[in-house]
Structure 1
Amino acid sequence: MPSGLVALLDDIAGITKLAAASLDDVGAAAGKAGSKAIGVVVDDTAVTPRYVVGLTPDRELPIISKIAMGSLRNKLLILLPAALILSAFAPWAITPLLMLGGAFLCFEGAEKVLEALGGAGHAEEEAAPMDAAELEQSKISGAIRTDLILSAEIMAIALADVAESPLLTQAIVLVLVGVGITVMVYGVVGLIVKMDDIGLHLAKRRAAATRALGRGLVRGMPVLMETLSVVGTAAMIWVGGGILVHGLDVLGLHEPAGTIHHAAEAVAHASGALGGLTGWLVTALGSGLLGLAVGGAIAFVVHKIRH
């Protein structure tokens, strides 16, 4: 009996060590997959604040909260099951579906550019004015719709990194990446949109340096929000174009990916210590130009059909 108990305890210890190792592997995989998606995370963080521009300050955090919950639903209830099903039964369909999402991002970004240049956009085609509740719901719906595409790219990047792992490991990694990135992105977004309120609070303090910092935050927030709006629009076009470039390359059409890659390498080689940055900028510019061209073409066709 004692020897049997010892053997049982040895088995339990072995199982425990195996489980701990598995958890370490899952954690490492989630961290690696999340780090590879950081580029899209930055774009998501830049895109979202523009959806609270023009709304009252007391509604900013509730709106961000609703968008964050919509983002979680996108990732966990729509994209997670879809990613696992496609990975198991139709992995060939992932790239074309991502390219459709990328084209939609290009279209949305091009629409914003057309509006800024005085062309026809969403705003001009809304005949009936909206009250505050309708405007809020419209902005939330638009943000969640855009988040679906960006989240799909994040989940696809994470899935590609654990594609050879068991299905359960894939599911756990995608959940960890989805929840972790959502909390990070919308935590930062919430901090950004309330920065002016923080500045007002600091401006009332006794210390002169604290008051100066608070006044600086208040004066700087309109510029920051406008900058983020521009960056967010550019990010939609850049990410969408990048999805299309990568998708075409995966499908066997190696242009324009080859040209962009060679141009980035040449510029990086000529830039010395700044090669990493300049190479990335060339890649982003090439993807952005393709995204703007595709988005502009789609916007032109859509406007013709609407009229």
Structure 2
Amino acid sequence: MTPRGLRLSQISLTHGNGQLALRAIDLQVNPGERLAIIGPSGAGKTTLLRLLATGLQPSSGQYELFGVAAWALSARQRQRLRARIGLIHQAPPLPPRQRVVTTVLAGKLGQWSLPKSLLSLLHPVDPAGAAAALERLDLADKLFARCDQLSGGQLQRVGIARVLYQAPELILADEPVSAMDPVLAGHTLSVLNQDAINRGATLLASLHAVDLALTHFPRIIGVREGRILFDRPASAVGQPELDALYANAQLQVSVPTAAAAAVTTPLNLRYPQC
């Protein structure tokens, strides 16, 4: 494994209430890989991403990130490690009264000096850079809007723009397009994937929409009851795998037809604000 990859070895995690959330997870992701994590609600997808972001410490097992054991580091060293990770939340924790430009520029707070970081919070130091990141998501016109003036889908795209501006080595996205319509969700995932490809960054995203996962990601991990049920190329995920993954779930999940999966969204289209 090269220094920028990640490896989980027999990782388990038990929450403070005694709930076993992850069970003996083994996972290796090489630099530049792009994979989607799918599975029913409560399967452990968000917990896995939080652990990968070093926001949760495993109860047992070892987590190696960028060539080091993440939890063998000091708190300060681990903070520097986190500056190399971009985390996209399903509901981004954005200050409601903060302007979008300030929110996007906050992506580099972990890389800037303290004086520059404080200055940017008072007066944006790189509005052109923030505008460029927003333009890729068709949000350039919201540069100086306040976050509480945006819809849920727009807030999700602002959170993604912040990570695009950050340009981290590892991108972890937790349901990043759940508040968007299908066309806009596909476009946004295309932008996120293209950014990872262009920079050689590693991208892991949890998605409820199986069709989006199979269309946009070459590798799929199926998680159920805190375990990895399967880990295989998207082209090898069929109806039997999905039936086993979503058994007893209150919905039917089908493999998209080849025609539907082949549909791509041009990146230069403009979309309704949602």
Please tell me whether Structure 1 or Structure 2 has the larger radius of gyration of its CA atoms: 1
The two structures have a TM-score, normalised by structure 1, of 0.21
Structure showing the higher helix proportion among its residues:
1
Q: Which has the higher contact order (CA 8 A, sep 6+)?
A: 1
The two structures have a TM-score, normalised by structure 2, of 0.23
